[in-house]
Amino acid sequence: MNRQLCKNLSVSILALAAALPAQLRGQEHPIDAPAAPWWQSAVFYELYPRSFADSNNDGIGDLKGVTSNLDYLKDLGVDAIWITPCFPSPQVDFGYDISDYENIDPMYGSLQDFDHLLAEANKRGIRILLDFVANHTSDQHKWFQDSKGSRTSAHRDWYIWRDGRGPSQPPNNWVSTFGLSAWTFAPTTQQYYYHYFYPEQPDLNWRNPAVEAAMFDVTRFWYKRGVAGFRLDAVDSLFEDPKLTDNPFAPGTDTFGRRNMDEKYNQKLPEVHGVLRGLRKVADEYNAVLIGETYTSSIDELKHYYGDHSSELQLPMDMMFATVDKLSAAEFRKQIASVNSSGGWPVFLIGNHDMPRSYNRYGDRLHDDAIAKLMAALYLTLRGSPILYYGEEIGMQNNDPKSKDDVRDPQGKVGWPTEKGRDGERTPMQWTTDLNGGFSQTKPWLPVPPSAATHNVAAESADPASILNFYKRLLYLRHHEKALLEGEYIALDESNPNVLSFLRRYRNDGVLVVLNMSATAQKVTLDLASHGFAGATHTTLLNDGTGATRSQGADINLEPFTAYIEKLTD
Ligand code: GLC
């Protein structure tokens, strides 16, 4: 077929494709459609408030610290911030044990400080999301305090109380994911209560309609204040088998040295979806978004969390992508194809407050900064909404405790030394080269690693080749290139074990992303013609230094761990 004919044909195929209903083209709502939901084009930023910025120098971050750094986030290219729990809490699980859902913990400030943060964020076009911890409360919450008082108290059935199997024997064999039993005996009423996490985090009984009503009201309380949505914590764990059937054991042991369990009777029960549909109805009244902490093990499970006709979570996190544990083009290619096949709008992240930092998980200790940029170029150019974890944009590293005495996360105390806990990925944001990375003038609650001397906002802002400036350029492109925002994803060169290449195509525009995930130089020859870009003009959008070169014809040469992005205009 001659070149012009081929070009004309592909143009008409493109025009045809553009005329197809959006769903058939693999995108539910084109972002430029009047009713397009805001969260499809948003870049989310997960912010751990204890560690972001300390305005009153007590060693712990706070809301005023967040407010005073909104310009930094705006400049970075963030559209929405998810703040991990900042509600009153005894801080056993650093906020994930809530004692009052409708207030702010004094260590972070006040409701007025929160309203001020919302107003300032709003001025900058940044939305605020909160964390909704629905599975459990703190044992200090007034509901639990009442519940444990007597077998007939008003809130008794708000939690899961059962008799033991026999003297000193818990009701069944379920274990807490944090290393201990899932049952704690309460002497006052001579029964056990259930907790999938720490004993200080008793599970709510979601089979009780009063619990559901009270918790749905919590979301209304914050929506009315101006919150744009929630990240739903631990949704997999909301329900348990009422008969308390023992879980079967599975091969191997966990990091606490216990036999693995197939948690079929206390995880991902079908009833979870009813609650999610209910939460979604409330969210829809406020044009809010629900992001799910969804630890799925198959795409069918993930698909289920979107719900039929998108009736559950708009954005269930793809933790299968997030937990890919090696820099492998084949593995990422597989995960991307898999989430795209779900039909929902994907959510991509590479780190959070529960997993070691991506810098350590993918780095090879020789090319760590290049790899951090490469990973950014991956998850920020895919079709879907990305969630950045604070500090990822400056290449923050894990700083694990050196001894058991240094551990703050109880999980690390129980599991030391095989399980060191999650302190390492929660250390203070590195702002400057000053004392404590400029986070606080007092000793911070977790130590700042030596890498703060080079990896901090001030130093990286001044260095055009820094990870931070790379993130900024990428996020700028994301916001300005239609193809990156909503173009379809087309995998290229799919058998290449070293280089992950793909095209994002929106009408006649394309953005080509080429990522060398190997430690050796690579050359790729990509077939763009069959995707409608036979005679396209190529304009480099992003290249890490001179890491990639386009030689004559179709070849692209890439240095080790280089990302190359170009625009194709037909
Ligand atoms: C979620 C949170 C984690 C917390 C747990 C219990 O997994 O991300 O940090 O410890 O829930 O609330």
| Tens of pLDDT, residues 191-240 | 999 999 999 999 999 999 999 999 999 999 999 999 999 999 999 999 99
CA 246, 248, 252, 254 dihedral sign is: negative
Hunting for tokens 């009408």 — which residue is that? 507
Q: Cα angle at 483 between 480 and 489, to 5 degrees?
A: 140
Asked if omega into 417 is within 30° of 0 (cis), the reply is: yes
Q: Which residue has the tokens 């972001």?
A: 52
The burial of 248, by beta-carbon neighbours within 10 Å (0-12 exposed, 13-18 middle, 19 or more buried), is given as exposed
Tell me if 425 CB under 6 Å of ligand 1: no
CA dihedral angle for residue 85, residue 91, residue 92, residue 94, rounded to 10 degrees: 40
Largest CA distance in the chain: 86
State the Cα–Cα distance between residues 193 and 281, nearest whole angstrom: 31
> What's at 248, amino acid-wise?
P
| Separation CA 189–CA 136 (nearest Å) | 20
Mean pLDDT of 266-295: 98
Q: Which amino acid is at 19?
A: A
Going by pLDDT thresholds of 50, 70 and 90, the confidence category of residue 33 is: low
Closest by Cα among 563, 552, 565, 570 to 506: 570
Pocket test of ligand 1: the residue of 46, 93, 196, 352 to mutate, having most ligand atoms within 8 Å of its CB, is 93
> What are the residue ranges of helices labelled H in 435-545?
457-461, 467-480, 482-486
Average pLDDT, integer, range 521-546: 92
Which is catalytic among the residues 285, 308, 364, 527? 285
Nearest to 556 by CA among 478, 476, 500, 474: 500
Is-catalytic flag, 393? Answer: no
Check if the beta carbon of residue 316 is closer than 8 Å to that of residue 302. Answer: yes
Indicate the DSSP class of residue 378.
Answer: H
Euclidean distance between CA atoms 122 and 490, whole angstroms:
35
For residue 442, CA distances in Å to 242, 428, 438 come to 49, 12, 10
For residue 312, give the amino acid letter. Answer: E
- As a whole number of angstroms, the distance between CA 355 and CA 361 comes to 9
Is 464 buried (19+), middle (13-18) or exposed (0-12) by CB count in 10 A? exposed
* Beta strand pairing call for 499-506 and 509-516: antiparallel
Pocket of ligand 1 contains residue 354 by CB under 6 Å: yes
In eight-state DSSP terms, residue 42 is P
Cβ atoms of 211 and 111 within 8 Å: the answer is no
- CA 302 to centroid of ligand 1, rounded, Å: 19
pLDDT at residue 12 greater than cutoff 70: no
**Ligand 1 contacts CB of residue 240 (under 6 A):** no
Cα–Cα distance, 541 to 470 (Å, whole number) = 12
Of 62, 79, 203, 233, the catalytic one is 233
- What's the pLDDT at 281? 98
Q: Ligand 1 centroid to 234 CA: how many Å?
A: 6
* CA 360 from centroid of its chain's CA atoms: 17
Ligand 1 near 96 CB (within 6 A): yes
Instruction: Dump pLDDT digits (tens) for 155-179.
Output: 999 999 999 999 999 999 999 999 8
pLDDT confidence of 550, banded at 50, 70, 90? Answer: confident
Q: Determine if ligand 1 sits within 6 Å of the CB of residue 197.
A: yes
pLDDT value, residue 448: 98
| Arithmetic mean of pLDDT, 411-417 | 92
Evaluate whether 562 touches 520 at the Cβ level (below 8 Å).
no
Per residue in 478-490, pLDDT (tens digit) is 999 999 999 999 9
Residue 460 among the catalytic residues: no
Cα–Cα dist 128/119, whole Å? 10
Protein residue whose Cα sits closest to atom 3 of ligand 1: 354
pLDDT in tens, 43-101: 999 999 999 999 999 999 999 999 999 999 999 999 999 999 999 999 999 999 999 99
Q: In the predicted model, what is the mean pLDDT of residues 373-388?
A: 98
- Ligand 1 pocket check: which of 89, 96, 177, 352 to mutate, most ligand atoms within 8 Å of Cβ? 96
Buried b (16+ CB within 10 A) or exposed e, 297-306: eebebbbbbb
pLDDT of 34 reads 61
- What is the rounded CA–CA span in Å between residue 107 and residue 104? 8
List all residues 6 or more positions away from 203 whose beta carbon is below 8 Å from its beta carbon.
135, 136, 159, 160, 193, 194, 195, 196, 237, 240
Q: Is the dihedral of CA 334, 335, 336, 337 positive or negative?
A: positive
**Residue that is written with structure tokens 């930023």 in the block:** 45
CA nearest to 381, candidates 291, 531, 523, 500: 500
Nearest to 355 by CA among 392, 380, 315: 392
Q: Is 196 in the pocket of ligand 1 (CB under 6 A)?
A: no
Ligand 1 centroid to 432 CA: how many Å? 30
pLDDT tens-digit series, residues 124-154? 999 999 999 999 999 999 999 999 999 999 9
Does the pLDDT value for residue 29 go beyond 80?
A: no
Helix locations, 462-567, DSSP H: 467-480, 482-486
For the cut 50, the answer to whether the pLDDT of residue 269 exceeds it is yes
* Res 2 pLDDT > 80: no
Number of CB atoms found within 10 A of residue 327's CB: 22
Q: What angle do CA 39, 94, 409 make, to 5 degrees?
A: 120
Per-position DSSP letters for 274-307, written without gaps between them: HHHHHHHHHHHHTT-EEEE----SSHHHHHHHH-
Q: What angle do CA 400, 403, 406 make, to 5 degrees?
A: 75
477 ligand 1 Cβ < 6 A: no
Backbone phi, psi, residue 229, to 5°: 160, -175
Taking the CB of residue 57, how many other CB atoms lie within 10 A of it?
A: 12
d(CA 184, ligand 1 centre) in Å: 19
How far is the centre of ligand 1, averaged over its atoms, from the C-alpha of 123 (Å)?
A: 31
Hey, what are 347's tokens? 């959510």
Strands (E), 101-173: 127-133, 161-162
Pocket test for ligand 1, best of 354, 409, 419, 423 (most atoms within 8 A of CB): 354
Which atom of ligand 1 is closest in space to residue 96's alpha carbon? 12
Residues in Cβ contact with 217 at an 8 Å cutoff, skipping those fewer than 6 apart: none
Tell me the β-bridge partners of 492: 501
Considering the chain, what percentage of its residues have pLDDT values greater than 90? 90
At 479-526, the pLDDT tens digits run 999 999 999 999 999 999 999 999 999 999 999 999 999 999 999 999
Return d(Cα 35, Cα 28) in angstroms, integer: 11
Q: Look at ligand 1, atom 12, and give the residue with the nearest C-alpha.
A: 96
- Gap from CA of 213 to ligand 1 centroid (Å): 23
Segment 405-434 shows an average pLDDT of 96
Q: Is 93's C-beta closer than 6 angstroms to any atom of ligand 1?
A: yes
Alpha helices in 98-137 (DSSP H): 111-123
